[in-house]
């Protein structure tokens, strides 16, 4: 029972970050109907930014979110402008291949510049943990969960309370109707891609104290982000939040009861299962 | 009009058959073998992706099964590869049919995602099932035994020439398979599914059945390609035969040339293989030094020399983006468009000339 509780708690903590990755992806998909296969690579870029902010400038990884998120937002806007914009009406397959290409460019450009060596960002609290009611909670995971929760809450408030947030939701719901209502959907697309990229970068900053940092780390996160999003329902932000927590927990349980090497197999099997049984996900509309 | 391509193909085949007699440089043969391998990969992906419109980004699964199956049978059960490759290929086709029956209910992006997830599952199994696969260490082949038929040694594998002919034969077979698909009722069913699934379904075309047939053909040649790669290179690990990068390569070869055509993957291979070989052989960095864009002994120069050799994946990414943005029908489609535009312009000019 102790093992079970322990696994669930650390699964939920990790799942918070997965949720954040998924929210970025689902936001991009919801507004632009583009599946971004470079999402994990964007996260990887966020990890490198965080790593160098820490080693060169001495900025704590959790504080560097304030630096990484705006930088990544700009990067996302540029990427959207230069590349993604051009395939908005194209076949979904072509969009997928294009974003896979973008991901390859990012990971290999990073490899070219920073080599493929594994980097470790170790802070004073990297291996620290606190006991909460008999359960040990890793300090970096706990901090990152708190920040994730704050970012998610802020994003919800932004989407629900503000005019721009409403325009984003309107565009996601019905692009043409939103356009007829005077929403500049092109600009909303830029904003959504920027936001999604900023969220991926934020997630990268948050995981950097607990993961190895290397150029190819992104692809695992891309696939995981999809599992999260498909589980919750493509385009649903609440769905992505739920999906992230579920995937984190499944992974953590699989790691405790089987082995951490094969925990991802469980995640992908769950993914295939959900795709087949309810492709619309837990909270989304069917897009079979 | 029809006879010309056939004649050209026959001439090319005759030249390729004669080539090892004239060219003895192992490196030239090596590049040709890589070229054949890329043609097999592209053409086998094309059966499923090109004609049926199912963009699998998980072909590394069948490639890896062919590679691992053949080498594992050889290393651990001492089965000679030309016998061992058959059960390995059968296993890949069987697994593909099981996976296809499940994932072909999904469409568009969902199918793409599922295909990637399946290949990842295979990669993780190969990585973690250490007793059977050696895990991340991979499998290194000892020397291949000579091929014997009825006690006579037909060929040994001491030189690259037997691999050259085996690769050529497989490449010709996969091209022939594409030709057969394109010119049969089966191929029309495939293309109907590609153009409009729902319409095809309402005409009574059993979607999952035909997609599975396409996948079976595709996986058959893909697994052969995997076995061929494993035996030729002599070393496999989960990263080199089962990773997403391998799957992407299948798609890339077809996309660059032009999907859904017989010549497309050949053109794609002709673009991709020399390019990555040129990078590996440092031709790009040498060119940069010759043009005095960087000094060979400067830190930048040393950096370029060290790293550009490993940049082929970067080039793949750039090619993918450029092709999809600027020539979504591939090099072949692009060239055809150019020719058609020329002709139209010429016809228009002629019409104008006769009018005035």
Nearest to B107 among A102, A115, A288 (CB): A288
Inter-chain residue contact A111 with B125, CB threshold 8 Å: no
Chain A residues lying within 8 Å of B125, measured CB to CB:
262, 265
Chain B residues lying within 8 Å of A262, measured CB to CB:
124-125, 128
Pairwise CA distance, residues A45 & A31, whole Å: 23
How close A108 gets to chain B, by Cα (Å)?
Answer: 5
Q: Is the pLDDT of residue A286 over 50?
A: no
**B41-46: average pLDDT:** 96
Containing domain of residue B215, as a range? 26-242
Pairwise CA distance, residues B320 & A97, whole Å: 7
Q: Is the pLDDT of residue B183 over 70?
A: yes
Q: Of B246, B191, B214, whose CA–CA distance to B104 is shortest? A: B214
What would the pLDDT profile of B246-267 be if each residue is shown by its tens digit? 999 999 999 999 888 899 999 9
Higher per-residue pLDDT: B143 or B172: B172
Element (H, E) at A136: strand A135-138
Contact by Cβ (8 Å): A210, A194:
no
Pairwise CA distance, residues A15 & B134, whole Å: 32
Inter-chain residue contact B248 with A219, CB threshold 8 Å: no
| pLDDT (0 to 100) of residue A127 | 78
Inter-chain residue contact B121 with A265, CB threshold 8 Å: yes
Contact by Cβ (8 Å): B269, B257:
yes
Nearest to B317 among A92, A101, A115 (CB): A101
**A88-99: average pLDDT:** 87
For chain B, say whether A266 makes contact (Cβ under 8 Å).
Answer: no
| Residue B80: inside a domain | yes
| pLDDT (0 to 100) of residue A181 | 87
| pLDDT (0 to 100) of residue B290 | 78
Q: Is the pLDDT of residue B293 over 50?
A: yes
Pairwise CA distance, residues B188 & B211, whole Å: 12
Inter-chain residue contact B313 with A259, CB threshold 8 Å: no
Q: List all residues 6 or more positions away from B69 whose beta carbon is below 8 Å from its beta carbon.
A: B84, B85, B87, B88, B89, B91, B92, B223, B227
| Residue B104: inside a domain | yes
What would the pLDDT profile of B90-115 be if each residue is shown by its tens digit? 999 999 999 999 899 888 888 998 99
Q: What does the longest C-alpha to C-alpha distance in chain A come to?
A: 57
Kindly identify which residue of chain A lies nearest to residue B118, measuring between CA atoms.
A268
Angle at B272 between CA B85 and CA B114, to 5 degrees: 60
List the beta bridge partners of residue A131. A136
Higher per-residue pLDDT: A181 or B152: A181
| Residue B75: inside a domain | yes
For chain A, say whether B313 makes contact (Cβ under 8 Å).
Answer: yes
Quick one: pLDDT band at residue A287, thresholds 50, 70, 90?
very low
Percent of chain B having pLDDT more than 90?
45
Chain A residues lying within 8 Å of B316, measured CB to CB:
101, 104
Q: Is the pLDDT of residue B74 over 50?
A: yes
Nearest to B112 among A93, A227, A272 (CB): A93
**A228-247: average pLDDT:** 88
Summary mean pLDDT of chain A:
89
Pairwise CA distance, residues B203 & B220, whole Å: 28
Nearest to A276 among B102, B318, B319 (CB): B102
Kindly identify which residue of chain A lies nearest to residue B105, measuring between CA atoms.
A276
Nearest to A94 among B105, B124, B328 (CB): B328
Kindly identify which residue of chain B lies nearest to residue A266, measuring between CA atoms.
B121
Q: Is the pLDDT of residue A126 over 80?
A: no
CA B155 → CA A83, B10, B26, B37, distances in Å?
Answer: 52, 26, 17, 20
Inter-chain residue contact B313 with A104, CB threshold 8 Å: yes
Q: Is the pLDDT of residue A94 over 90?
A: no
Q: Of A65, A202, A60, A47, whose CA–CA distance to A114 is shortest? A: A47
Overall number of domains in chain B: 1
For chain A, say whether B317 makes contact (Cβ under 8 Å).
Answer: yes
* Mutation choice for B interface testing from A39, A105, A258 by most B CBs within 10 A: A105
Q: Is the pLDDT of residue B310 over 80?
A: no
Inter-chain residue contact B248 with A104, CB threshold 8 Å: yes
Nearest to A275 among B110, B124, B317 (CB): B110
| pLDDT (0 to 100) of residue A3 | 83
Both structure tokens of A167: 């325009």
For chain B, say whether A288 makes contact (Cβ under 8 Å).
Answer: yes
| pLDDT (0 to 100) of residue A140 | 86
| Residue B41: inside a domain | yes
Chain A residues lying within 8 Å of B127, measured CB to CB:
261
Contact by Cβ (8 Å): A206, A61:
yes
| Residue B40: inside a domain | yes
Contact by Cβ (8 Å): A231, A274:
yes
| Residue B215: inside a domain | yes
Q: Is the pLDDT of residue A143 over 50?
A: yes
What would the pLDDT profile of A39-54 be if each residue is shown by its tens digit? 999 999 999 999 999 9
**A152-175: average pLDDT:** 90
Residue B164's Cβ-count burial label (10 Å; 0-12, 13-18, 19+) is: buried
| pLDDT (0 to 100) of residue B355 | 67
Pairwise CA distance, residues A216 & A40, whole Å: 9
Inter-chain residue contact A261 with B320, CB threshold 8 Å: no
Inter-chain residue contact B321 with A101, CB threshold 8 Å: yes
For chain B, say whether A82 makes contact (Cβ under 8 Å).
Answer: no
Inter-chain residue contact A276 with B313, CB threshold 8 Å: no
Chain B residues lying within 8 Å of A87, measured CB to CB:
324-325
Inter-chain residue contact A269 with B114, CB threshold 8 Å: no
Q: Of B226, B208, B186, B209, whose CA–CA distance to B91 is shortest? A: B226
| Residue B120: inside a domain | yes
Q: Is the pLDDT of residue A24 over 90?
A: yes
Q: Is the pLDDT of residue A71 over 70?
A: yes
**How many other CB atoms are there within 10 angstroms of residue B136's CB atom?**
12
Q: List all residues 6 or more positions away from B80 whose beta carbon is below 8 Å from its beta carbon.
A: B74, B145, B147
Percent of chain A having pLDDT more than 90?
49
Long-range contacts of B13-18 (CB under 8 A, 24+ apart): B13/B172, B16/B168, B17/B168
In 3-state terms, what secondary structure has residue A62? coil
**A23-29: average pLDDT:** 92
A135-138 and B139-140 strand pairing = unpaired
Beta carbon pairs, A and B, within 8 Å: 120
* Mutation choice for A interface testing from B115, B121, B248, B327 by most A CBs within 10 A: B121
Nearest to A279 among B106, B127, B307 (CB): B106
Quick one: pLDDT band at residue A12, thresholds 50, 70, 90?
very high
Summary mean pLDDT of chain B:
88
What would the pLDDT profile of A29-41 be if each residue is shown by its tens digit? 888 888 899 999 9
Pairwise CA distance, residues A226 & A244, whole Å: 10
Both structure tokens of A212: 């190895």
CA B201 → CA A93, A106, B194, distances in Å?
Answer: 21, 40, 11
**How many other CB atoms are there within 10 angstroms of residue A159's CB atom?**
18
In the block, residue with structure tokens 């356009």: A179
How close B152 gets to chain A, by Cα (Å)?
Answer: 47
Q: Of B60, B78, B68, whose CA–CA distance to B133 is shortest? A: B68
Both structure tokens of B233: 């290179």
**How many other CB atoms are there within 10 angstroms of residue B20's CB atom?**
18
| pLDDT (0 to 100) of residue B89 | 96
**A183-188: average pLDDT:** 88
How close A163 gets to chain B, by Cα (Å)?
Answer: 31
Residue B149's Cβ-count burial label (10 Å; 0-12, 13-18, 19+) is: exposed
Pairwise CA distance, residues B282 & A280, whole Å: 49
Q: Is the pLDDT of residue A288 over 50?
A: no
Inter-chain residue contact B124 with A265, CB threshold 8 Å: yes
CA dihedral of A226, A231, A233, A236, whole degrees rounded to 10: -80
Alpha helices in chain B (DSSP H): 3-22, 26-46, 52, 60-77, 81-103, 108-128, 130-133, 161-182, 185-195, 197-202, 207-233, 238-241, 244-257, 263-280, 283-290, 299-307, 312-326, 330-355
| pLDDT (0 to 100) of residue B356 | 59
| pLDDT (0 to 100) of residue A285 | 56
| Residue B17: inside a domain | no
| pLDDT (0 to 100) of residue B287 | 77
Name residues 101-130 of chain A within 8 A of B (Cβ).
Answer: 101-109, 111-112, 115
For chain B, say whether A261 makes contact (Cβ under 8 Å).
Answer: yes
CA B260 → CA B52, B194, B252, distances in Å?
Answer: 8, 10, 13
Quick one: pLDDT band at residue A63, thresholds 50, 70, 90?
very high
């Amino acid at each position: 029972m102790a093992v079970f509780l322990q696994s669930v708690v650390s699964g939920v903590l990790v799942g918070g970050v997965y949720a954040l990755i998924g929210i970025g992806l689902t936001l991009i998909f919801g507004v632009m109907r583009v599946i971004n296969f470079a999402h994990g690579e964007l996260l990887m870029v966020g990890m490198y930014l965080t790593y160098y902010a820490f080693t060169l400038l001495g900025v704590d990884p959790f504080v560097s979110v304030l630096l990484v998120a705006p930088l990544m937002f700009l990067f996302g806007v540029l990427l959207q402008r230069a590349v993604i914009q051009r395939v908005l009406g194209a076949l979904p397959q072509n969009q997928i291949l294009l974003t896979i290409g973008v991901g390859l460019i990012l990971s290999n450009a990073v490899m070219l510049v920073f080599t493929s060596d594994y980097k470790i960002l170790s802070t004073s609290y990297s291996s620290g943990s606190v006991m909460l009611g008999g359960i040990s909670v890793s300090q970096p995971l706990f901090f990152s969960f708190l920040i994730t929760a704050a970012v998610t809450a802020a994003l919800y408030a932004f989407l629900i309370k503000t005019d721009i947030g409403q325009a984003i939701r309107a565009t996601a719901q019905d692009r043409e109707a939103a356009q007829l209502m005077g929403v500049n959907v092109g600009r909303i697309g830029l904003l959504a891609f920027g936001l999604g990229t900023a969220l991926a970068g934020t997630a990268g900053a948050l995981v950097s104290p607990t993961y190895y940092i290397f150029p190819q780390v992104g692809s695992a996160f891309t696939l995981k982000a999809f599992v999260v999003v498909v589980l919750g329902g493509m385009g649903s932000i609440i769905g992505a939040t739920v999906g992230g927590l579920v995937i984190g927990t499944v992974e953590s349980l699989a790691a405790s009861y089987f082995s951490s090497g094969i925990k991802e197999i469980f995640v992908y099997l769950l993914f295939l299962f959900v795709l087949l049984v309810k492709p619309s996900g837990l909270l989304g509309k069917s897009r079979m | 009009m029809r006879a010309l391509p056939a004649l050209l193909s026959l001439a090319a085949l005759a030249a390729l058959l004669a080539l090892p007699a004239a060219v003895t440089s192992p490196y030239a043969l090596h590049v040709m073998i890589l070229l054949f391998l890329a043609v097999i990969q592209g053409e086998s992906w094309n059966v499923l992706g090109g004609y049926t419109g199912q963009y699998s980004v998980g072909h590394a699964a069948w490639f890896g099964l062919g590679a691992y199956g053949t080498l594992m049978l050889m290393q651990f059960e001492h089965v000679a590869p030309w016998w061992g490759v058959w059960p390995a290929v059968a296993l890949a086709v069987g697994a593909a049919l099981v996976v296809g029956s499940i994932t072909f209910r999904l469409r568009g992006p969902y199918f793409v995602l599922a295909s990637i997830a399946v290949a990842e599952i295979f990669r993780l199994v190969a990585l973690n099932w250490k007793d059977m696969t050696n895990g991340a260490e991979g499998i290194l082949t000892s020397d291949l035994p000579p091929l014997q038929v009825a006690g006579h040694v037909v060929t040994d594998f001491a030189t690259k020439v037997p691999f050259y002919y085996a690769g050529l034969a497989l490449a010709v077979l996969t091209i022939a398979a594409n030709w057969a698909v394109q010119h049969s009722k089966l191929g029309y069913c495939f293309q109907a599914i590609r153009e409009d699934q729902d319409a095809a379904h309402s005409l009574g075309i059993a979607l999952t059945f035909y997609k599975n047939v396409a996948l079976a053909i595709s996986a058959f040649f893909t697994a052969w390609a995997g076995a061929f790669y494993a035996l030729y290179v002599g070393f496999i690990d989960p990263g080199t035969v089962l990773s997403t990068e391998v799957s992407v390569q299948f798609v890339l070869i077809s996309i660059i040339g032009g999907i859904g055509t017989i010549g497309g993957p050949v053109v794609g291979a002709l673009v991709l293989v020399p390019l990555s070989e040129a990078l590996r052989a440092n031709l790009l960095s040498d060119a940069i030094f010759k043009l005095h864009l960087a000094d060979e002994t400067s830190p930048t120069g040393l950096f370029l020399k060290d790293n550009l050799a490993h940049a082929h994946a970067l080039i793949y990414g750039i090619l993918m983006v450029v092709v999809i943005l600027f020539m979504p029908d591939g090099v072949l489609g692009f060239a055809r468009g150019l020719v058609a535009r020329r002709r139209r312009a010429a016809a228009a000019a002629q019409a104008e000339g006769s009018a005035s």
